[in-house]
Structure 1
Amino acid sequence: MLKTQSRYAIDPATAKTLDTDQLRDHFHVGGLFADGEISLVYSHYDRLILGSAVPKGGALTLDKVAEAGTPSILDRREMGVLNIGDAGTVEVGGKKYQIDNGEVLYIGMGSGPVTFSGNGRYYILSAPAHQTYPTTLIKLADARRVEMGAPETANERVIIQLLHPDVHPSCQLVMGYTQFAQGSVWNTMPAHTHDRRMEAYLYFQLPEEQRVFHMMGEPTQTRHIIMANEEAVISPPWSIHAGAGTSSYTFCWAMAGDNVDFTDMDMIAIGDLR
Protein backbone atom coordinates (compact mmCIF):
# COMPACT_ATOMS: atom_id res chain seq x y z
CA MET A 1 0.00 0.00 0.00
CA LEU A 2 1.32 3.44 -1.00
CA LYS A 3 0.26 6.64 0.80
CA THR A 4 1.46 10.06 -0.37
CA GLN A 5 0.99 13.68 0.57
CA SER A 6 2.48 17.04 -0.41
CA ARG A 7 3.87 19.84 1.74
CA TYR A 8 4.15 23.29 0.19
CA ALA A 9 6.90 25.80 0.90
CA ILE A 10 6.07 28.94 2.90
CA ASP A 11 8.07 32.05 3.67
CA PRO A 12 9.47 32.96 7.13
CA ALA A 13 7.09 35.90 7.57
CA THR A 14 4.12 33.55 7.25
CA ALA A 15 5.72 30.86 9.39
CA LYS A 16 6.05 33.14 12.43
CA THR A 17 2.26 33.71 12.44
CA LEU A 18 1.39 30.01 12.70
CA ASP A 19 -0.01 28.42 15.84
CA THR A 20 1.00 24.98 17.11
CA ASP A 21 -1.38 22.99 14.91
CA GLN A 22 -0.50 25.01 11.82
CA LEU A 23 3.24 24.56 12.42
CA ARG A 24 2.73 20.83 12.70
CA ASP A 25 0.59 20.74 9.57
CA HIS A 26 3.39 22.34 7.54
CA PHE A 27 6.55 20.84 9.05
CA HIS A 28 5.83 17.82 11.30
CA VAL A 29 5.62 14.38 9.66
CA GLY A 30 3.87 11.73 11.73
CA GLY A 31 2.27 8.42 10.89
CA LEU A 32 5.45 6.91 9.47
CA PHE A 33 6.51 3.26 9.78
CA ALA A 34 3.07 1.68 9.57
CA ASP A 35 3.13 -2.08 8.97
CA GLY A 36 2.52 -3.04 5.35
CA GLU A 37 2.76 0.52 4.04
CA ILE A 38 4.99 2.82 2.03
CA SER A 39 4.32 6.38 3.22
CA LEU A 40 5.84 9.34 1.38
CA VAL A 41 5.79 13.12 1.82
CA TYR A 42 6.64 15.27 -1.21
CA SER A 43 8.16 18.50 0.06
CA HIS A 44 8.31 21.59 -2.15
CA TYR A 45 11.51 22.59 -0.35
CA ASP A 46 14.09 21.46 -2.92
CA ARG A 47 11.61 18.74 -4.00
CA LEU A 48 12.83 16.35 -1.31
CA ILE A 49 10.72 13.23 -0.79
CA LEU A 50 10.89 11.61 2.63
CA GLY A 51 9.03 8.62 3.97
CA SER A 52 9.08 5.03 5.11
CA ALA A 53 8.50 1.43 4.11
CA VAL A 54 7.66 -1.37 6.54
CA PRO A 55 7.14 -4.70 4.72
CA LYS A 56 6.73 -6.60 8.03
CA GLY A 57 8.13 -9.84 6.60
CA GLY A 58 6.43 -9.40 3.23
CA ALA A 59 7.37 -7.28 0.22
CA LEU A 60 6.50 -3.72 -0.85
CA THR A 61 7.41 -2.23 -4.24
CA LEU A 62 7.93 1.48 -4.82
CA ASP A 63 7.57 2.49 -8.45
CA LYS A 64 5.21 5.18 -9.78
CA VAL A 65 4.64 8.19 -7.51
CA ALA A 66 2.26 10.70 -9.05
CA GLU A 67 3.85 13.69 -7.34
CA ALA A 68 7.19 12.99 -9.08
CA GLY A 69 5.54 13.25 -12.51
CA THR A 70 7.53 10.41 -14.10
CA PRO A 71 6.64 6.78 -14.93
CA SER A 72 8.90 5.57 -12.08
CA ILE A 73 10.10 7.54 -9.04
CA LEU A 74 13.79 7.14 -9.89
CA ASP A 75 13.59 8.20 -13.54
CA ARG A 76 14.97 11.64 -12.60
CA ARG A 77 15.84 11.10 -8.94
CA GLU A 78 18.36 9.51 -6.59
CA MET A 79 17.47 7.83 -3.30
CA GLY A 80 18.95 6.97 0.08
CA VAL A 81 17.45 4.23 2.26
CA LEU A 82 18.36 3.94 5.97
CA ASN A 83 17.33 0.79 7.85
CA ILE A 84 16.38 1.56 11.46
CA GLY A 85 14.93 -1.92 12.09
CA ASP A 86 16.05 -5.52 11.85
CA ALA A 87 17.99 -6.81 8.85
CA GLY A 88 16.08 -6.73 5.58
CA THR A 89 16.50 -6.84 1.83
CA VAL A 90 16.08 -4.15 -0.81
CA GLU A 91 15.99 -5.21 -4.47
CA VAL A 92 17.03 -2.73 -7.16
CA GLY A 93 17.55 -3.54 -10.85
CA GLY A 94 17.35 -7.28 -10.21
CA LYS A 95 20.02 -7.20 -7.48
CA LYS A 96 19.26 -7.80 -3.80
CA TYR A 97 21.04 -5.92 -1.03
CA GLN A 98 20.87 -7.07 2.58
CA ILE A 99 20.73 -3.95 4.76
CA ASP A 100 21.49 -4.27 8.45
CA ASN A 101 20.44 -1.80 11.10
CA GLY A 102 22.17 1.55 10.67
CA GLU A 103 23.27 0.98 7.08
CA VAL A 104 22.31 3.07 4.03
CA LEU A 105 21.63 1.94 0.49
CA TYR A 106 22.29 4.65 -2.11
CA ILE A 107 20.24 4.12 -5.28
CA GLY A 108 21.20 5.95 -8.45
CA MET A 109 18.97 7.72 -10.94
CA GLY A 110 17.24 5.48 -13.48
CA SER A 111 17.38 2.33 -11.35
CA GLY A 112 13.69 1.47 -11.78
CA PRO A 113 11.34 0.04 -9.13
CA VAL A 114 12.59 -0.61 -5.59
CA THR A 115 11.29 -3.58 -3.58
CA PHE A 116 11.56 -3.66 0.22
CA SER A 117 11.26 -6.99 2.06
CA GLY A 118 12.07 -8.70 5.33
CA ASN A 119 11.85 -7.13 8.78
CA GLY A 120 13.55 -3.84 8.05
CA ARG A 121 12.09 -0.46 8.93
CA TYR A 122 13.23 1.65 6.02
CA TYR A 123 13.52 5.44 6.07
CA ILE A 124 13.41 6.74 2.50
CA LEU A 125 14.87 9.98 1.14
CA SER A 126 14.89 11.06 -2.50
CA ALA A 127 15.99 14.19 -4.35
CA PRO A 128 16.14 15.22 -8.02
CA ALA A 129 19.31 14.10 -9.80
CA HIS A 130 21.21 15.18 -12.91
CA GLN A 131 23.37 12.08 -13.46
CA THR A 132 23.61 8.48 -12.35
CA TYR A 133 25.94 7.31 -9.62
CA PRO A 134 26.24 3.59 -8.84
CA THR A 135 23.82 1.94 -6.47
CA THR A 136 25.92 1.09 -3.40
CA LEU A 137 25.37 -0.40 0.04
CA ILE A 138 27.14 1.87 2.52
CA LYS A 139 28.04 -0.15 5.60
CA LEU A 140 28.95 1.25 9.00
CA ALA A 141 32.59 0.35 8.41
CA ASP A 142 32.53 2.66 5.38
CA ALA A 143 31.06 5.64 7.24
CA ARG A 144 32.95 8.74 8.30
CA ARG A 145 32.65 9.24 12.06
CA VAL A 146 33.03 12.65 13.68
CA GLU A 147 32.98 12.90 17.49
CA MET A 148 31.82 16.22 18.89
CA GLY A 149 30.49 17.91 22.03
CA ALA A 150 31.09 17.30 25.71
CA PRO A 151 29.15 16.04 28.75
CA GLU A 152 29.26 19.45 30.44
CA THR A 153 27.29 21.00 27.55
CA ALA A 154 24.96 17.98 27.28
CA ASN A 155 25.83 17.42 23.62
CA GLU A 156 28.43 14.63 23.53
CA ARG A 157 27.70 12.86 20.26
CA VAL A 158 29.06 11.04 17.22
CA ILE A 159 28.06 12.13 13.72
CA ILE A 160 27.95 9.16 11.33
CA GLN A 161 28.25 10.41 7.76
CA LEU A 162 27.08 7.79 5.24
CA LEU A 163 25.95 9.54 2.07
CA HIS A 164 28.65 12.21 2.10
CA PRO A 165 31.27 13.39 -0.44
CA ASP A 166 34.04 11.68 1.55
CA VAL A 167 32.16 8.36 1.49
CA HIS A 168 30.04 8.09 -1.68
CA PRO A 169 29.19 10.61 -4.43
CA SER A 170 25.66 11.89 -4.99
CA CYS A 171 24.03 14.66 -7.00
CA GLN A 172 22.59 16.60 -4.07
CA LEU A 173 21.38 14.20 -1.38
CA VAL A 174 23.56 14.15 1.75
CA MET A 175 22.57 12.05 4.77
CA GLY A 176 23.71 10.34 7.92
CA TYR A 177 22.73 10.24 11.57
CA THR A 178 23.84 11.52 14.95
CA GLN A 179 23.90 9.41 18.12
CA PHE A 180 24.09 10.89 21.62
CA ALA A 181 25.98 9.64 24.63
CA GLN A 182 23.93 8.82 27.70
CA GLY A 183 22.92 12.05 29.42
CA SER A 184 23.46 14.26 26.36
CA VAL A 185 20.36 15.74 24.74
CA TRP A 186 21.19 18.92 22.73
CA ASN A 187 21.53 18.59 18.97
CA THR A 188 22.93 21.11 16.49
CA MET A 189 23.69 23.75 19.09
CA PRO A 190 25.08 26.37 18.52
CA ALA A 191 22.46 26.54 15.80
CA HIS A 192 22.96 27.39 12.15
CA THR A 193 21.11 27.94 8.91
CA HIS A 194 22.10 27.14 5.32
CA ASP A 195 19.90 29.09 2.95
CA ARG A 196 21.25 27.10 0.02
CA ARG A 197 19.89 23.77 1.26
CA MET A 198 16.84 22.44 3.06
CA GLU A 199 17.07 19.71 5.67
CA ALA A 200 14.91 17.01 7.20
CA TYR A 201 15.31 15.20 10.52
CA LEU A 202 13.99 11.82 11.62
CA TYR A 203 14.10 11.31 15.39
CA PHE A 204 14.41 7.67 16.46
CA GLN A 205 15.74 5.43 19.23
CA LEU A 206 13.76 7.71 21.54
CA PRO A 207 11.93 5.92 24.40
CA GLU A 208 8.19 5.87 23.84
CA GLU A 209 7.36 8.09 26.83
CA GLN A 210 10.07 10.67 25.99
CA ARG A 211 10.03 13.62 23.55
CA VAL A 212 12.37 15.95 21.65
CA PHE A 213 11.68 19.68 21.52
CA HIS A 214 12.69 20.49 17.94
CA MET A 215 13.64 24.15 17.49
CA MET A 216 12.92 25.89 14.18
CA GLY A 217 12.26 29.32 12.69
CA GLU A 218 14.39 32.34 11.93
CA PRO A 219 17.10 32.89 14.58
CA THR A 220 15.19 35.87 16.02
CA GLN A 221 11.76 34.19 15.69
CA THR A 222 12.24 30.68 17.04
CA ARG A 223 9.41 28.19 17.47
CA HIS A 224 9.32 24.58 18.61
CA ILE A 225 7.62 21.35 17.59
CA ILE A 226 7.40 18.45 20.03
CA MET A 227 8.55 15.21 18.42
CA ALA A 228 7.90 11.59 19.38
CA ASN A 229 9.85 8.50 18.39
CA GLU A 230 10.10 7.79 14.63
CA GLU A 231 8.64 11.15 13.65
CA ALA A 232 10.20 13.47 11.08
CA VAL A 233 10.34 17.22 10.64
CA ILE A 234 10.97 19.36 7.55
CA SER A 235 13.41 22.25 8.01
CA PRO A 236 13.20 25.13 5.49
CA PRO A 237 16.46 26.67 4.23
CA TRP A 238 15.81 29.87 6.21
CA SER A 239 15.25 28.03 9.50
CA ILE A 240 17.48 26.87 12.31
CA HIS A 241 17.19 23.16 13.11
CA ALA A 242 18.17 22.18 16.62
CA GLY A 243 16.60 20.43 19.56
CA ALA A 244 16.75 19.05 23.06
CA GLY A 245 15.32 15.77 24.28
CA THR A 246 13.97 14.58 27.58
CA SER A 247 16.37 11.65 27.13
CA SER A 248 19.11 10.59 24.73
CA TYR A 249 18.08 9.74 21.16
CA THR A 250 19.34 9.42 17.59
CA PHE A 251 18.37 11.50 14.60
CA CYS A 252 18.87 11.06 10.87
CA TRP A 253 19.69 14.26 9.01
CA ALA A 254 19.36 14.70 5.27
CA MET A 255 19.98 17.70 3.04
CA ALA A 256 19.18 18.65 -0.55
CA GLY A 257 19.93 21.84 -2.44
CA ASP A 258 22.68 23.73 -4.22
CA ASN A 259 25.71 21.83 -2.94
CA VAL A 260 26.89 18.79 -0.99
CA ASP A 261 29.27 20.70 1.30
CA PHE A 262 28.44 19.44 4.80
CA THR A 263 30.25 22.37 6.42
CA ASP A 264 28.36 25.05 4.44
CA MET A 265 26.67 26.62 7.48
CA ASP A 266 25.84 30.13 8.63
CA MET A 267 26.46 29.91 12.36
CA ILE A 268 24.22 31.60 14.92
CA ALA A 269 25.64 32.52 18.32
CA ILE A 270 23.58 31.13 21.20
CA GLY A 271 23.25 34.65 22.64
CA ASP A 272 21.67 35.87 19.38
CA LEU A 273 18.77 33.43 19.45
CA ARG A 274 15.36 34.80 20.37
Structure 2
Amino acid sequence: MKLYQMADAVRYPRMTTAELRETFLLEELFRPGAIDLAYVDLDRTVIGSAVPTISPLTLETTSELRAEYFCERRELGVLNVGGKGSVVVDGKTFALDKLDCLYVARGSKEVTFASESEGAPAAFYLLSYPAHAVHPTAMVKFADLEPVKLGAIETCNKRSIYKAIHAGGLKSCQLVMGFTLLEAGSNWNTMPPHVHMRRSEVYLYFDVDAAHRVMHMMGPKDETRHLVIADKQVAVSPGWSIHAGVGTSNYAFCWGMGGENQDYSDMDGIAIADLK
Protein backbone atom coordinates (compact mmCIF):
# COMPACT_ATOMS: atom_id res chain seq x y z
CA MET A 1 0.00 0.00 0.00
CA LYS A 2 1.48 3.33 -1.08
CA LEU A 3 1.29 6.25 1.37
CA TYR A 4 0.28 9.72 0.19
CA GLN A 5 0.89 12.66 2.53
CA MET A 6 -1.00 15.78 1.52
CA ALA A 7 0.62 19.18 1.17
CA ASP A 8 -1.09 22.18 2.78
CA ALA A 9 -2.08 25.43 1.11
CA VAL A 10 1.19 27.06 2.26
CA ARG A 11 3.55 24.52 0.66
CA TYR A 12 1.39 24.01 -2.42
CA PRO A 13 2.30 27.21 -4.41
CA ARG A 14 6.00 26.29 -4.40
CA MET A 15 5.51 22.76 -5.78
CA THR A 16 6.73 21.74 -9.23
CA THR A 17 4.55 19.85 -11.69
CA ALA A 18 6.28 16.60 -10.70
CA GLU A 19 5.70 17.29 -6.99
CA LEU A 20 2.04 18.11 -7.57
CA ARG A 21 1.54 14.87 -9.48
CA GLU A 22 3.40 12.82 -6.87
CA THR A 23 1.29 14.28 -4.06
CA PHE A 24 -2.22 14.68 -5.48
CA LEU A 25 -2.45 12.17 -8.35
CA LEU A 26 -2.75 8.37 -8.28
CA GLU A 27 -1.58 6.98 -11.62
CA GLU A 28 -0.93 3.27 -10.99
CA LEU A 29 -4.33 1.73 -10.29
CA PHE A 30 -6.35 -0.84 -12.27
CA ARG A 31 -3.61 -3.35 -13.02
CA PRO A 32 -5.13 -6.52 -14.54
CA GLY A 33 -5.14 -9.43 -12.12
CA ALA A 34 -4.35 -7.32 -9.06
CA ILE A 35 -5.71 -5.30 -6.17
CA ASP A 36 -3.94 -1.95 -5.71
CA LEU A 37 -4.40 0.23 -2.62
CA ALA A 38 -3.17 3.66 -1.52
CA TYR A 39 -3.47 5.27 1.92
CA VAL A 40 -4.02 9.04 1.99
CA ASP A 41 -3.40 10.67 5.38
CA LEU A 42 -6.15 13.21 4.63
CA ASP A 43 -9.26 11.86 6.41
CA ARG A 44 -7.47 8.47 6.49
CA THR A 45 -8.75 7.65 3.01
CA VAL A 46 -7.96 4.37 1.28
CA ILE A 47 -8.25 4.46 -2.51
CA GLY A 48 -7.90 1.35 -4.61
CA SER A 49 -8.86 -0.88 -7.49
CA ALA A 50 -9.50 -4.55 -8.16
CA VAL A 51 -9.32 -6.00 -11.69
CA PRO A 52 -9.90 -9.77 -11.49
CA THR A 53 -9.06 -11.71 -14.63
CA ILE A 54 -8.52 -15.48 -14.52
CA SER A 55 -9.04 -15.90 -10.79
CA PRO A 56 -11.03 -14.01 -8.14
CA LEU A 57 -9.20 -11.50 -5.95
CA THR A 58 -9.66 -11.22 -2.18
CA LEU A 59 -9.29 -7.91 -0.36
CA GLU A 60 -6.65 -8.40 2.32
CA THR A 61 -5.73 -6.22 5.26
CA THR A 62 -2.37 -4.46 5.28
CA SER A 63 0.13 -3.68 8.00
CA GLU A 64 -0.64 0.04 7.64
CA LEU A 65 -4.22 -0.49 8.86
CA ARG A 66 -3.24 -2.49 11.98
CA ALA A 67 -6.49 -4.40 11.52
CA GLU A 68 -7.34 -8.10 11.53
CA TYR A 69 -9.25 -7.67 8.26
CA PHE A 70 -9.74 -4.72 5.91
CA CYS A 71 -13.25 -3.69 7.00
CA GLU A 72 -12.69 -4.28 10.71
CA ARG A 73 -13.00 -0.53 11.37
CA ARG A 74 -13.78 0.69 7.84
CA GLU A 75 -16.63 1.03 5.37
CA LEU A 76 -16.05 0.52 1.66
CA GLY A 77 -17.62 1.83 -1.53
CA VAL A 78 -17.25 -0.16 -4.77
CA LEU A 79 -18.09 1.14 -8.25
CA ASN A 80 -17.69 -1.08 -11.31
CA VAL A 81 -16.28 0.90 -14.26
CA GLY A 82 -15.51 -2.14 -16.42
CA GLY A 83 -17.13 -5.36 -17.63
CA LYS A 84 -19.61 -7.57 -15.80
CA GLY A 85 -18.43 -8.88 -12.45
CA SER A 86 -19.41 -9.81 -8.93
CA VAL A 87 -18.42 -9.06 -5.36
CA VAL A 88 -18.87 -11.67 -2.62
CA VAL A 89 -19.18 -10.21 0.90
CA ASP A 90 -19.11 -12.80 3.69
CA GLY A 91 -20.69 -15.40 1.41
CA LYS A 92 -23.33 -13.17 -0.22
CA THR A 93 -22.88 -12.48 -3.94
CA PHE A 94 -23.63 -9.13 -5.57
CA ALA A 95 -23.60 -9.05 -9.39
CA LEU A 96 -22.31 -5.67 -10.61
CA ASP A 97 -22.62 -4.46 -14.17
CA LYS A 98 -20.88 -1.29 -15.27
CA LEU A 99 -21.87 1.70 -13.07
CA ASP A 100 -23.50 -0.45 -10.40
CA CYS A 101 -22.39 0.55 -6.89
CA LEU A 102 -21.96 -1.51 -3.73
CA TYR A 103 -21.63 -0.39 -0.10
CA VAL A 104 -19.71 -2.81 2.13
CA ALA A 105 -20.39 -2.55 5.85
CA ARG A 106 -17.89 -2.15 8.64
CA GLY A 107 -17.23 -5.59 10.13
CA SER A 108 -17.41 -7.45 6.80
CA LYS A 109 -14.64 -10.03 7.08
CA GLU A 110 -14.22 -11.37 3.55
CA VAL A 111 -14.60 -9.38 0.33
CA THR A 112 -13.81 -11.11 -2.98
CA PHE A 113 -13.96 -9.74 -6.53
CA ALA A 114 -14.54 -11.73 -9.74
CA SER A 115 -15.10 -11.05 -13.44
CA GLU A 116 -17.64 -12.77 -15.64
CA SER A 117 -15.27 -12.70 -18.64
CA GLU A 118 -11.49 -12.74 -18.69
CA GLY A 119 -11.55 -10.91 -22.01
CA ALA A 120 -13.72 -8.07 -20.66
CA PRO A 121 -12.90 -7.98 -16.95
CA ALA A 122 -14.68 -5.96 -14.33
CA ALA A 123 -12.79 -2.92 -13.04
CA PHE A 124 -13.79 -2.22 -9.45
CA TYR A 125 -12.96 1.18 -8.00
CA LEU A 126 -12.58 1.12 -4.22
CA LEU A 127 -12.98 4.01 -1.77
CA SER A 128 -12.86 3.51 2.00
CA TYR A 129 -13.05 5.60 5.17
CA PRO A 130 -13.04 4.77 8.88
CA ALA A 131 -16.53 4.04 10.24
CA HIS A 132 -17.89 4.32 13.77
CA ALA A 133 -21.20 2.49 13.15
CA VAL A 134 -22.50 -0.41 11.08
CA HIS A 135 -24.83 0.09 8.11
CA PRO A 136 -26.05 -2.84 5.99
CA THR A 137 -24.08 -4.04 2.99
CA ALA A 138 -26.24 -3.14 -0.01
CA MET A 139 -26.08 -2.55 -3.75
CA VAL A 140 -27.76 -0.09 -6.09
CA LYS A 141 -28.08 -0.72 -9.83
CA PHE A 142 -27.31 2.03 -12.31
CA ALA A 143 -30.80 1.64 -13.77
CA ASP A 144 -32.34 2.44 -10.38
CA LEU A 145 -30.45 5.70 -9.84
CA GLU A 146 -32.31 8.91 -10.58
CA PRO A 147 -30.04 11.39 -12.38
CA VAL A 148 -29.81 15.08 -11.56
CA LYS A 149 -29.52 16.99 -14.84
CA LEU A 150 -27.26 20.05 -14.79
CA GLY A 151 -25.49 22.38 -17.21
CA ALA A 152 -26.14 23.25 -20.82
CA ILE A 153 -24.69 22.72 -24.28
CA GLU A 154 -24.03 26.46 -24.50
CA THR A 155 -21.65 26.30 -21.52
CA CYS A 156 -20.15 22.92 -22.55
CA ASN A 157 -21.16 21.24 -19.27
CA LYS A 158 -24.40 19.32 -19.86
CA ARG A 159 -24.15 16.40 -17.46
CA SER A 160 -26.03 13.89 -15.33
CA ILE A 161 -25.14 13.40 -11.65
CA TYR A 162 -25.89 10.04 -10.03
CA LYS A 163 -25.82 9.82 -6.21
CA ALA A 164 -25.30 6.26 -4.95
CA ILE A 165 -23.98 6.28 -1.36
CA HIS A 166 -25.50 9.27 0.45
CA ALA A 167 -28.05 10.23 3.07
CA GLY A 168 -30.95 9.62 0.68
CA GLY A 169 -29.57 6.42 -0.86
CA LEU A 170 -27.28 3.65 0.35
CA LYS A 171 -26.64 4.46 4.03
CA SER A 172 -23.11 4.93 5.36
CA CYS A 173 -21.15 6.45 8.20
CA GLN A 174 -19.23 9.19 6.41
CA LEU A 175 -18.66 7.93 2.86
CA VAL A 176 -20.53 9.81 0.11
CA MET A 177 -20.08 8.44 -3.40
CA GLY A 178 -21.53 8.80 -6.87
CA PHE A 179 -20.57 9.62 -10.43
CA THR A 180 -21.15 12.14 -13.20
CA LEU A 181 -21.58 11.45 -16.91
CA LEU A 182 -20.94 14.23 -19.42
CA GLU A 183 -22.88 14.32 -22.66
CA ALA A 184 -21.23 14.41 -26.08
CA GLY A 185 -20.11 17.96 -26.84
CA SER A 186 -19.69 18.82 -23.14
CA ASN A 187 -16.36 18.72 -21.33
CA TRP A 188 -16.54 20.95 -18.21
CA ASN A 189 -17.32 19.39 -14.84
CA THR A 190 -18.15 21.16 -11.55
CA MET A 191 -18.01 24.64 -13.02
CA PRO A 192 -18.44 27.09 -11.31
CA PRO A 193 -16.14 25.39 -8.78
CA HIS A 194 -16.46 25.15 -5.03
CA VAL A 195 -14.59 24.10 -1.91
CA HIS A 196 -15.80 22.39 1.27
CA MET A 197 -13.47 22.52 4.25
CA ARG A 198 -15.59 19.97 6.11
CA ARG A 199 -14.85 17.19 3.61
CA SER A 200 -12.05 16.11 1.33
CA GLU A 201 -12.96 14.77 -2.10
CA VAL A 202 -11.53 12.18 -4.46
CA TYR A 203 -12.09 12.12 -8.24
CA LEU A 204 -11.67 9.01 -10.40
CA TYR A 205 -11.73 9.95 -14.08
CA PHE A 206 -12.83 7.11 -16.37
CA ASP A 207 -14.10 6.50 -19.90
CA VAL A 208 -11.37 8.89 -21.06
CA ASP A 209 -10.30 7.85 -24.57
CA ALA A 210 -6.63 6.90 -24.85
CA ALA A 211 -5.95 9.84 -27.17
CA HIS A 212 -7.59 12.35 -24.81
CA ARG A 213 -6.90 13.88 -21.40
CA VAL A 214 -8.67 15.80 -18.63
CA MET A 215 -7.19 19.02 -17.22
CA HIS A 216 -8.06 18.81 -13.53
CA MET A 217 -8.02 22.21 -11.84
CA MET A 218 -7.00 22.51 -8.19
CA GLY A 219 -5.75 24.92 -5.53
CA PRO A 220 -7.17 27.98 -3.76
CA LYS A 221 -9.29 30.22 -5.98
CA ASP A 222 -6.47 32.75 -6.37
CA GLU A 223 -3.62 30.22 -6.81
CA THR A 224 -4.89 27.60 -9.26
CA ARG A 225 -2.85 24.84 -10.87
CA HIS A 226 -3.79 21.86 -13.00
CA LEU A 227 -3.04 18.16 -13.38
CA VAL A 228 -3.16 16.43 -16.77
CA ILE A 229 -5.05 13.20 -16.15
CA ALA A 230 -5.52 10.06 -18.25
CA ASP A 231 -8.12 7.29 -18.07
CA LYS A 232 -8.66 5.63 -14.67
CA GLN A 233 -6.44 8.01 -12.73
CA VAL A 234 -7.42 9.61 -9.42
CA ALA A 235 -7.04 13.18 -8.14
CA VAL A 236 -7.18 13.88 -4.39
CA SER A 237 -8.69 17.21 -3.41
CA PRO A 238 -8.16 18.69 0.10
CA GLY A 239 -10.88 20.86 1.59
CA TRP A 240 -9.03 24.07 0.72
CA SER A 241 -8.73 23.19 -2.97
CA ILE A 242 -11.19 23.66 -5.79
CA HIS A 243 -11.87 20.60 -7.93
CA ALA A 244 -13.04 21.12 -11.47
CA GLY A 245 -11.95 19.86 -14.82
CA VAL A 246 -12.19 20.14 -18.57
CA GLY A 247 -11.47 17.37 -21.06
CA THR A 248 -10.44 17.25 -24.67
CA SER A 249 -13.59 15.15 -25.13
CA ASN A 250 -16.49 14.10 -22.92
CA TYR A 251 -15.74 11.58 -20.14
CA ALA A 252 -17.04 10.35 -16.78
CA PHE A 253 -15.83 10.67 -13.21
CA CYS A 254 -16.61 9.13 -9.85
CA TRP A 255 -16.67 11.55 -6.92
CA GLY A 256 -16.28 10.39 -3.35
CA MET A 257 -16.08 12.28 -0.07
CA GLY A 258 -15.44 11.70 3.61
CA GLY A 259 -15.14 14.02 6.57
CA GLU A 260 -17.33 16.10 8.83
CA ASN A 261 -20.78 15.48 7.34
CA GLN A 262 -22.73 13.84 4.52
CA ASP A 263 -24.63 16.89 3.27
CA TYR A 264 -24.03 16.82 -0.49
CA SER A 265 -24.97 20.51 -0.83
CA ASP A 266 -22.55 21.63 1.92
CA MET A 267 -20.12 23.58 -0.24
CA ASP A 268 -18.81 27.10 -0.63
CA GLY A 269 -19.28 28.26 -4.19
CA ILE A 270 -16.70 30.34 -6.03
CA ALA A 271 -17.51 32.75 -8.84
CA ILE A 272 -15.68 32.08 -12.09
CA ALA A 273 -14.61 35.74 -12.17
CA ASP A 274 -12.73 35.22 -8.87
CA LEU A 275 -10.48 32.46 -10.24
CA LYS A 276 -6.84 33.30 -10.85
TM over 0.5, shorter chain = yes
Q: Does 1:108 align with 2:110?
A: no
SS in 2 for 1:221: coil
Q: Which residue of 2 aligns with 1:81?
A: 78
Residue 36, structure 1, aligned to residue 33, structure 2: yes
Cα distance in 1 for partners of 2:177, 2:127 equals 9
TM-score by length of 1: 0.97
Query: Structure 2 length as normaliser, TM-score?
Result: 0.97
Give the number of aligned pairs.
271
- Does structure 1 conserve the Cα–Cα contact (< 8 Å) formed by 2:180 and 2:254? yes
Taking the aligned partners of 2:188 and 2:248, their CA distance within structure 1 comes to 10
- Secondary structure of 1:168's match? coil
Tell me the distance in 2 between the aligned counterparts of 1:123 and 1:46. Answer: 18
Paired amino acid for 1:112: K
2:253 to 221, 246, 251: 251
Partners of 2:139 and 2:170 within 8 A in 1? no
Q: What stretches of structure 2 of length at least 5 have no aligned partner?
A: 116-120
Secondary structure at the counterpart of residue 247 of structure 1: coil
1:142 aligns with one of 141, 144, 156: 144
Matched residues in 1 for 2:196 and 2:145: separation?
A: 23
Q: Is the 8 A contact 2:45 2:127 kept in 1?
A: yes
* Counterpart Cα distance in 1 of 2:178 and 2:161: 7
User: How do 1:189-204 and structure 2 match up within 5 A?
Assistant: 189-204=191-206
Q: Describe the superposition over 1:19-70 as per-residue Cα deviations: whole angstroms up to 9, x where unpaired.
A: 1000000001011111111111101110111110011131111121222221
Corresponding residue for residue 55 of structure 1? 52
Distance in 2 between residues matched to 1:102 and 1:57, nearest whole Å: 22
- Residue identity in the other structure for 1:261: D
Q: Encode CA deviations 1:75-116: one digit per residue, 9 max, x unaligned.
A: 000000000111111111111111111001100000112111
TM-superposed deviation, 1:9: 2.3
Say if 1:63 and 1:112, in contact at 8 Å, map to a contact too.
Answer: no
Residue among 222, 225, 250 paired with 1:223: 225
Q: Which moved more, 1:122-131 or 1:54-63?
A: 54-63
- Matched residue of 2:15: which SS? coil
> What is aligned with 1:91?
88
Which whole-Å CA distance do the structure 2 matches of 1:133 and 1:230 have between them?
A: 28
**Deviation at residue 17 of structure 1 after TM alignment:** 0.8
Query: What is the rounded CA distance, in whole Å, between the counterparts of 1:139 and 1:234 in structure 2?
Result: 26
Q: Which residue of 2 aligns with 1:242?
A: 244
Task: Give the RMSD, CA atoms, in angstroms.
Answer: 0.8
> 1 CA distance for matches of 2:7 and 2:232?
25
Matched-pair contact (CA < 8 Å) for 2:6–2:24: no
Match of 1:183 in 2: 185
